[in-house]
């Protein structure tokens, strides 16, 4: 595969490991985890894979500043802030929410990495792209050139991150002599799901790509992925039939809302930590993993009926555990 400009920022390849001790009650399904929470320490998770392409593009365009946006505990914003510090780029984040008195989790790391932050109250969030454009103009006036990265770096450039990850998965499957029935992940801005869907076609991966949405709904992700893939085809002159994409988003596991989880999700996080030493987060991976386990437990009536091997893509998010620590129950 001929990739566009790319920086080497992530620790790759990440391992694909079998869960030996965590078993889904009443099922023989073998679970595997693609350990993308190990792409780095501070910059762990899925975003760094996309940002390898996004930041390379920004540098090719002569930019010295990155502007991006997300929730107050955005993993993507934290990854951008830290990579900016590492590469000597200025980073300006637009975060949804009020400025907290005591920053914690990802926000604490954004500040430690020296990012400038504009807080936008949720009611004004619809204007965040306008604000980004205003900031770009202000930076230009002061002699800087800023690239605006959309939420989650999910666009036709960031899509390459999980296309490249699909090539890595192909190598993992060959090395381990395994053929999963499903490849499962959390979806929030659609770029990981979209990249894996395209990559699974390009690299002829075994296993259906299935996502659990943590916000919005299945229709939103279908539209978003088609849009990103259409722009990707145009920008990179790729031959690809987006009609071939079997976009499957399982609804029903958002819980009370984005960033708010039911007690069962916290219990699943604790169970996996205790049985495997593997840490999920309550915003993304915990909800998706919990959804996957619940669907497996439904047996023939569930979404994974007949499956023997399932790969869960661990997309990171560890720092999102700490701001929600009061939700864990011990003894
Ligand atoms: C930890 C984690 N997992 C999964 C996702 C979802 O990935 P995407 O935004 O590519 O849909 C995100 C970001 O939104 C994330 O931070």
Domains of the chain: 16-45+155-327 (3.40.50.1100), 47-153 (3.40.50.1100)
Rounded Cα gap, residues 315 and 186, in angstroms: 8
Please tell me the predicted confidence (pLDDT) of residue 221.
98
CA of 223 to the centre of ligand 1 (A): 17
Q: Which atom of ligand 1 is nearest to the CA of 315?
A: 3
Catalytic, out of 74, 166, 189, 200: 74
Please tell me the predicted confidence (pLDDT) of residue 331.
73
Indicate yes or no: pTM above 0.85. Answer: yes
Residue 310, Ramachandran bin (φ over 0: left; ψ between -120 and 50: alpha; else beta) = beta
Please tell me the predicted confidence (pLDDT) of residue 288.
98
- Per residue in 149-196, pLDDT (tens digit) is 999 999 999 999 999 999 999 999 999 999 999 999 999 999 999 999
Looking at every residue in the chain, the average pLDDT score rounds to 97
- Per residue in 259-296, pLDDT (tens digit) is 999 999 999 999 999 999 999 999 999 999 999 999 99
- Per residue in 16-56, pLDDT (tens digit) is 999 999 999 999 999 999 999 999 999 999 999 999 999 99
pLDDT at 323 over 80: yes
Rounded Cα gap, residues 179 and 198, in angstroms: 18
Q: Rounded to an integer, what is the distance from CA 325 to the centroid of its chain?
A: 21
What value does the mean pLDDT take over residues 243-248? 95
Pairing of strands 30-35, 16-18: antiparallel
- Tell me phi and psi for residue 118, to 5 degrees: -110, 125
Please tell me the predicted confidence (pLDDT) of residue 330.
84
Please tell me the predicted confidence (pLDDT) of residue 321.
97
DSSP per residue, 122-138: GGGGGGHHHHHHHHHHH
Q: Which atom of ligand 1 is nearest to the CA of 192?
A: 10
- Per residue in 87-117, pLDDT (tens digit) is 999 999 999 999 999 999 999 999 999 999 9
Pocket test for ligand 1, best of 36, 80, 186 (most atoms within 8 A of CB): 186
CA of 316 to the centre of ligand 1 (A): 8
Pocket test for ligand 1, best of 37, 46, 96, 194 (most atoms within 8 A of CB): 46
Q: How far is CA 64 from CA 54, 84, 142, 156, 197, in A?
A: 13, 9, 12, 21, 32
Q: State in Å, rounded, how far the first CA of the chain is from the last one.
A: 51
Q: Rounded to an integer, what is the distance from CA 33 to the centroid of its chain?
A: 15
Total length of the chain:
331
Q: Could you give the percent of the chain with pLDDT greater than 90?
A: 99
- Per residue in 55-79, pLDDT (tens digit) is 999 999 999 999 999 999 999 999 9
Task: Ligand 1: list residues with CB < 6 Å.
Answer: 45-46, 75-76, 152, 154, 186-193, 281, 284-285, 315-317
Task: Note if 189 is an active site residue.
Answer: no
């Amino acid at each position: 595969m001929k990739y566009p400009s790319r920086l080497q920022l992530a620790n790759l390849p990440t391992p694909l490991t079998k869960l030996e001790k965590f078993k889904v009650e009443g099922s023989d399904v073998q679970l595997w985890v693609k350990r993308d929470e190990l792409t780095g320490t501070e910059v762990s998770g899925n975003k760094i894979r996309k940002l390898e392409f996004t930041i390379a593009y920004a540098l090719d365009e002569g930019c010295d500043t990155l502007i991006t946006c997300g929730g107050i505990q955005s993993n993507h914003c934290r990854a951008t802030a830290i990579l900016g510090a590492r590469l000597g780029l200025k980073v300006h984040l637009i975060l949804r929410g009020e400025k907290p008195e005591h920053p914690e989790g990802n926000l604490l790391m954004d500040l430690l990495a020296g990012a400038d932050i504009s807080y936008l109250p949720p009611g004004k969030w619809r204007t965040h792209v306008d604000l980004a454009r205003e900031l770009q103009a202000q930076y230009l006036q002061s002699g800087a050139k800023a690239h605006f990265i959309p939420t989650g770096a999910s666009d036709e450039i960031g899509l390459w991150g999980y296309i490249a990850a699909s090539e890595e998965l192909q190598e993992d499957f060959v090395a381990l002599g395994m053929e999963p029935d499903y490849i499962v992940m959390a979806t929030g801005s659609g770029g990981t799901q979209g990249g894996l869907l395209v990559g699974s076609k390009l690299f002829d991966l075994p296993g259906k790509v299935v996502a659990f949405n943590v916000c919005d709904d299945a229709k939103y992700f279908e539209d978003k992925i088609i849009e990103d893939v259409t722009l990707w085809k145009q920008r990179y002159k790729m031959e690809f039939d987006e009609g071939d994409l079997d976009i499957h988003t399982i609804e029903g596991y958002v819980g009370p809302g984005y960033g708010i989880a039911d007690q069962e999700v916290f219990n699943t996080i604790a169970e996996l930590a205790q049985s495997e030493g593997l840490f999920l987060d309550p915003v993304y991976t915990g909800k998706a993993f919990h959804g996957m386990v619940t669907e497996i437990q439904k047996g023939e009536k569930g979404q994974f009926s007949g499956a023997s091997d399932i790969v869960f893509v661990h997309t990171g998010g560890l720092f999102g555990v700490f701001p929600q620590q009061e939700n864990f129950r011990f003894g």
